[in-house]
Amino acid sequence: MSDARTPPKDPTRHSTYVPKEKKSTKAFHPTPMLDQLESGPWPSFVTGLKRLAHDNNMMVDLLGQLEHSYKTRLGYWKGGTVSVFGYGGGIIPRFSEVAAMFPESKEFHTLRVQPPAGNHYTTKLLRQLSNSWNKWGSGLIAFHGQTGNIMFIGSTSENTQHFFDEINEYGFDLGGAGPCVRTAMSCVGAARCEQSCTNEHRIHRTLVNNFIDDMHRPALPYKFKFKVSGCPNDCMNSIQRADFAVIGTWRDDMQVDQQGVKEYVKGHGRKYTIDNVIARCPTKALSLNDDDTLDVDNKSCVRCMHCINVMTKALKPGKDHGITLLIGGKRTLKIGDTMGTVIVPFMKMETDEDYEKLRELAATVIDFWAENGLEHERCGEMIERIGLANFLEGIGVEVDPNMIAHPRTSSYVRMDDWDQEAQKWIDRKNQQAA
Amino acid sequence: MAQAQTVEKKQMRTPIESGCPDGMQYMHPLMVKNFGNWKYHDRPRPGVLHHVAYSGDEIWTVRVGTQRQLGPYEINLLCDIVDQYGEGHVRFTIRSNLEVMVSKWEKVGPLIQAFNDAGYPVGGTGNSVTMISHTQGWLHCDIPGTDASGVVKSLMDELYEEFVKEEMPNRVHITTSCCQINCGGQGDIAINVQHTKPPKINHDLVANVCERPSVVARCPVAAIRPAIVNGKPSLEVDEKKCICCGACYPPCPPMQINDPEHSKLAIWVGGKNSNARSKPMFQKLVAAGLPNNPPRWPEVAAVVKKILYTYKKDARDWERVGDWVERIGWPRFFELTGLPFTKFHIDNWRGARNSLNASAHIRF
């Protein structure tokens, strides 16, 4: 079998294809630096831009400006205010600072559009989106941006409205930009993954579609992101990248097919199994029996997924599925990186009431943050500033030792009402027992 | 005039606030049928996933590397292949790979061949180096220190072999970010812009363009204060305090942080989002001061490859880059990669104390 590096059999049906006919009327700018990115085996975005520049003048000047950036090592886009009728966000306005040199791409806005949950498409839908964008914009689409949007890159201010009107008619809506609820993400999950512990699609749409007003009309302290991963492998990077991370998990014993374990040991050897499965368990919850079956200390298992990832045919999450919620993940600005913190160790996600409970909790969190967050302060930064205990009180969630890595090490704290707080815990335990 | 405006407003279409579309309507029928009922998976070859449902149904997924920015030619080319050799249903991964689902193993070979014939690589599964997470850079961002697509293209050209094969100890996620905000996210290896000089202020523009109190508030080290410069209200930066993070630049473009010479590239390693084995980990600084050298950034590629191939040679199966360094220790990491260790590697931000070695645990 040949691979993608062999010369094309049919050069007109290949990532390196450049049309002979030039429909754009403006002459190409010389692009000696970008031209160097057309060689090499990976499909070249530069060749893609050139194909579009054969078609429209906007891309001729866009290539010119990009080459100018490569030469001078500076960016030349400035923001502004552009939106569609009825919305306050969802478009990233870009006006060129070097429009005198490259006038055709002086307005080059991006529309952020929410993809279907799980990023599923039919070829028919992809062609439809592409046709709409080719009609109103540059033709260039990024699948997808880092927040999860389909990025329709390169539109004049006027055409943003026309394009939106067209795709909005067949079921597509803008995502978020600015201080608002942002486009959410969910993994492929239950659609095609045996490790999925929940219905990621339904959670994704329940959450984000409930806050559609907070997405289209930015009025929050800063951005707020939902991400949903069906298991602790967290393919959506939600703990680190989402203000509100939903992770599928289970609370009963993991499923073990002992015959499958034996076959794995037979195929890979006992030493390999011990070194790569048993010894890599972070809480030493695994033990290989003398007959090559597996012992699992499920009470000590932290649902890290490692052994399940290795022995895909023998091990699976348990059957009593639910979710863990973590709140407050974000990158550096301004207090340094934060991972999300466990706020709900486990909740079931089966009935409509369960989904309603999740929706209500998300609304409570956003309301509390909207009221107490400072301008440009992410939810996790607010929690850091006011302390987790105050945040929990604010959203009406009881403390739980699953929320911490370890109890406090500093004695500098006032504990006036220790007895009442201890009694709360005892009462809760008694209630659970009853 | 007022009347004309009313007329125009009436003609404006009210948006349908439909939000996130239901993915089920576009999903492969076998995925709809077996939703939540999958039994196990394996990988029959690099670039292909095979999932088996409790119903006995099987589905194969072919993963294709793309340039992320697609025009009508690429979209139609890829869709033509999917329509002819696949079954009309696709999805995209978080790292811009196209996934094509088919119901028969016999369809996998011709599908791969068709993508390869069109110049598209198949891979990015399991213990490979998958597509680099991609930001906007000079193509579209308003604050980029460098390009994104060009860096990704250059590196993927060099790492092509590692995309189409599964020969790494575990999966490798490389990320790129064009400024210190780090939209590319945490990575096993992360390539991020690092500014080294305070912003250059155009005092003629500040008063008109910037909301000065919010710019002052944005600074993480309180180095910005209001000032009158040349008789105009502006801002000034205490350059001794300034950490050159660039946080003031987005709300105040006249405070230019990007510099062709002094905006450098830094490399970070060991970021991990998964909970597998260890808890999720942040990436750590290992190299800095690399020149921002388009169109192919050879100095960056050299460091990335040095780290990647040291990891490939030295790490054990299932160790991500971060797991590997935790086993061998940082002194050995710097020794094996030949990268210099400096005072800048020692953190001094909030919580930095937690990153110091407060023990007698030393590897000799």
Q: Which of B204, B194, B129 is nearest to B162 (CA)?
A: B129
Q: Which residues of B touch A37 (CB under 8 A)?
A: 150, 153-154, 295-296
- What pLDDT is attached to residue A333? 83
Q: Is the peptide bond before A20 cis (omega within 30 degrees of 0)?
A: no
Q: Answer yes or no: do A291 and A146 share one domain.
A: no
pLDDT at B350: 85
Structural domain contains residue A257: no
CA distance linking residue B177 with residue B194, whole number of Å: 10
State the pLDDT confidence band at B9, using cuts at 50, 70 and 90.
low
> And the tokens for A93?
């306005």
Query: Quick check: is A31 in a domain?
Result: no
For chain A, 434 residues long, give each residue's pLDDT as a single digit of tens: 457 888 899 999 999 999 999 999 999 999 999 999 999 999 999 999 999 999 999 999 999 999 999 999 999 999 999 999 999 999 999 999 999 999 999 999 999 999 999 999 999 999 999 999 999 999 999 999 999 999 999 999 999 999 999 999 999 999 999 999 999 999 999 999 999 999 999 999 999 999 999 999 999 999 999 999 999 999 999 999 999 999 999 999 999 999 999 999 999 999 999 999 999 999 999 999 999 999 999 999 999 999 999 999 999 999 999 999 999 999 888 888 899 999 999 999 999 999 999 999 999 999 999 999 999 999 999 999 999 999 999 999 999 999 999 999 999 999 999 999 999 999 999 999 98
Same domain, A164 and A228: no
Residue A5 lies inside a defined structural domain of this protein: no
Residues from chain A that touch B137, judged by Cβ atoms under 8 A, are 75
Domain that holds residue A212: 185-250+322-407
B59, B135, B317 ranked by CB distance to A276: nearest: B317
Q: Does A151 share its domain with A212?
A: no
Tens of pLDDT, residues B178-209: 999 999 999 999 999 999 999 999 999 999 99
Q: What is the CATH number of the domain that holds A115?
A: 3.30.70.2500
Instruction: Tell which of A169, A197, A232 closes a domain.
Output: A169
What is the C-alpha separation between A234 and B138, in angstroms, rounded?
30
Residue A338 sits in the same domain as residue A401: yes
Same domain, A273 and A399: no
Residues A274 and A358 in one domain: no
Task: Return the structure tokens found at B357.
Answer: 């070695």
Q: Quick one: A311 and A386 in the same domain?
A: no
Alpha-carbon distance B3 to B11, whole Å?
A: 13
Q: What is the pLDDT of residue B30?
A: 98
Is A69 within a domain? Answer: no
- B21 interfacial to chain A (CB closer than 8 Å): yes
Q: Determine, yes or no, domain membership for A59.
A: no
Q: Do domains B23-117 and B137-196+260-349 have the same CATH topology?
A: no
Tokens linked to B160: 């092509």
Nearest-Cα residue of chain B relative to residue A40:
B157
User: Are A203 and A307 contained in the same domain?
Assistant: no
pLDDT at B44 over 90: yes
Residues of chain A with Cβ-Cβ distance to B94 below 8 Å are: 144, 148, 185, 187, 235-237
- DSSP string spanning B92-144? E-TTS-EEEEES-GGGHHHHHHHHHHTT--B---SSSB-PPB---GGGT-SS-
Whether residue B179 contacts residue B135, with contact meaning beta carbons closer than 8 Å, is answered with no
| A78 touching B (Cβ < 8 Å) | yes
Question: In angstroms, what separates the C-alpha of A100 from chain B's closest C-alpha?
Answer: 18
Question: What rounded mean pLDDT belongs to chain B?
Answer: 95
> Does the distance separating the beta carbons of B274 and A233 come in below 8 Å?
yes
Whether residue B57 contacts residue B102, with contact meaning beta carbons closer than 8 Å, is answered with no
Query: What single string gives the DSSP state of each residue in A86-115?
Result: T-S-SEE--EETTTTT-GGGSB-EEEEEPP
Tokens of B213: 């109190």
Taking the whole predicted model, whether its pTM rises above 0.90 is answered as yes
Q: Give DSSP secondary structure letters for B264-325.
A: EEEEEE--B---SSSPPB--EEEEEEE---TTT-HHHHHHHHHHHHHHHHHPPTT--HHHHH
Identify the pLDDT of residue B308: 98
Q: Is B112's pLDDT higher than 80?
A: yes
Whether residue B150 is predicted with pLDDT greater than 90 in this model: the reply is yes
Looking up tokens 């010389």, which residue turns up?
A30
How many Å lie between the alpha carbon of B84 and the closest alpha carbon of chain A? 11
Q: Which of A105, A137, A169 is the last residue of a domain?
A: A169
Burial label for B359, CB within 10 Å (0-12, 13-18, 19+), is exposed
Q: Compute how many other C-beta atoms are within 10 angstroms of the C-beta atom of residue B193.
A: 24
Q: How many domains does chain A have?
A: 3
In CATH, what is the architecture of B137-196+260-349? 2-Layer Sandwich (3.30)
| Within-domain flag for A268 | yes
Tens-place pLDDT, residues B120-134: 999 999 999 999 998
B200-256 fold: Alpha-Beta Plaits (3.30.70)
Q: Is the domain defined by B23-117 classed in CATH 3.90.1150.10?
A: no
Give the tokens for residue B7. Answer: 């007329």
Q: Is pLDDT of B255 > 90?
A: yes
* CA B195, chain centre distance (Å): 19
Domain ranges (residues) in chain B: 23-117, 137-196+260-349, 200-256
Dihedral of the CA atoms A409, A414, A415, A416 (nearest 10)?
A: 170
CATH number (domain holding residue A306)? 3.30.70.20
- The pLDDT tens digits of the residues spanning B224-247 come to 999 999 999 999 999 999 999 999
**Res B1: pLDDT:** 41
- Look at the block and give the residue holding tokens 């990158």: A331
Using CB atoms, pick whichever of B13, B76, B253 lies closest to residue A165. Answer: B13
**What is the spatial distance between Cα A261 and Cα A278, in angstroms, rounded to a whole number?**
12
Query: Where a domain ends, among A293, A316, A339?
Result: A316
So what's the ipTM on this one? 0.96
The answer on A344 and A311 residing in a single domain is: no
